[in-house]
Structure 1
Amino acid sequence: MIKSVWQGKKTFKAQSKFGHDIISDAPTESGGDDNGASPVELMLSGLAGCTGIDVTNIMKERLNDTTKFEITVDDEREDNTSRSVKYVNLIFDIEGEVDLKKLKRAIKLSVDKYCTVAHSLKATIEPKLIYNGNEEEL
């Protein structure tokens, strides 16, 4: 569970179940103070982190001779009010001596099977409202 508490203007401070603070904000041109990453940036960084952790788990000691491991996530948005993400380009930039066949398999397994964030981008979201202690119909 994550609880996110409004800090004023457009800034929210969330805390993970492990006690890590996460600040999200809007850029100044959107009325925020640019105190943290935007919510979409947080989502996309979660995707990069999730797939990166999966690949390192699958590859284990096979990454010992890796000199570079970077993941870039680039998104394309819908041209409408919600500006929802319609396409994500997930770029793995890896250098060193790694078994290419096993690396490709690890990346595909992460995206197709293991990465919770990748699968959650397809999730159904059901909002609820508790107003002054009472659950309200939306």
Structure 2
Amino acid sequence: MHASVKWVEGDTFLGRSASGHNVVFDAGKDSAAPSPMEMVLMSVGCCSSVDVVSILQKARQKVAGVEVKLSAERAESAPRVFTKINLHFVVTGEAVSDNHVHRAVQLSAEKYCSVALMLDKTVEITHSFEVVETVGK
């Protein structure tokens, strides 16, 4: 895997993946784009969400939506690494089983999400979920 990051101006940088996709980063106080740490936090949420959606679909659950609400704590002094991250999944759908969601979140956390598993070596990562029924909506 390869990528590059190029300084644009001020505290703004442009990341480019080997697949040709661009991402803007901004580390300034009045930023116009996510900071590198925000990108890491969103990356763990996306990685885990991909797993949860895939696992629930394979289990033939009638999932209409999956959102993960992320919260994190950082060290007070430099380096301001993450010390805690919580991923709270909100799964919407028709007759979606709590047991299936629990298992999907657990499998992502323990086996599949490479971003979370990499961070888990130094960060306390917790998971929670809720299922919202969409019948009649």
| TM-score (norm. length: structure 2) | 0.78
| Cα separation, 1, equivalents of 2:19 and 2:121 | 24
Match in the other structure for 2:111: 113
Instruction: Answer yes or no: is 1:58 the counterpart of 2:59.
Output: no
* Superposed structure 1 runs of 4+ greater than 3 Å apart: 61-64
Question: 1:28 is paired with a residue of what secondary structure?
Answer: coil
Match in the other structure for 1:94: 91
Q: Which has the larger radius of gyration?
A: 1
Give the Å deviation of 1:12: 0.9
| Alignment map for 1:1-138 (pairs within 5 Å) | 1-28=2-29, 34-60=31-57, 62=59, 65-96=62-93, 97-122=95-120
* Contact 2:14–2:23 (Cα < 8 Å) also in 1: yes
| Cα separation, 1, equivalents of 2:25 and 2:111 | 29
Give the Å deviation of 1:63: 6.3
| Cα separation, 2, equivalents of 1:17 and 1:90 | 28
| TM-score (norm. length: structure 1) | 0.77
Deviations 1:89-116, CA, capped at 9 Å, x for gaps: 1100112221211211111110111101
Give the Å deviation of 1:18: 1.6
What residue ranges of structure 1 are gaps of 5+ in the alignment? 125-138
Give the Å deviation of 1:121: 1.5
Return the structure number with greater relative CO, CA threshold 8 A, min gap 6: 2
Identity within the alignment, %: 30
Give the Å deviation of 1:48: 0.7
Moved more, 115-124 or 53-62: 115-124
* Contact 2:15–2:22 (Cα < 8 Å) also in 1: yes
What residue ranges of structure 2 are gaps of 5+ in the alignment? 123-137
Give the Å deviation of 1:119: 1.6
* Contact 2:61–2:97 (Cα < 8 Å) also in 1: no
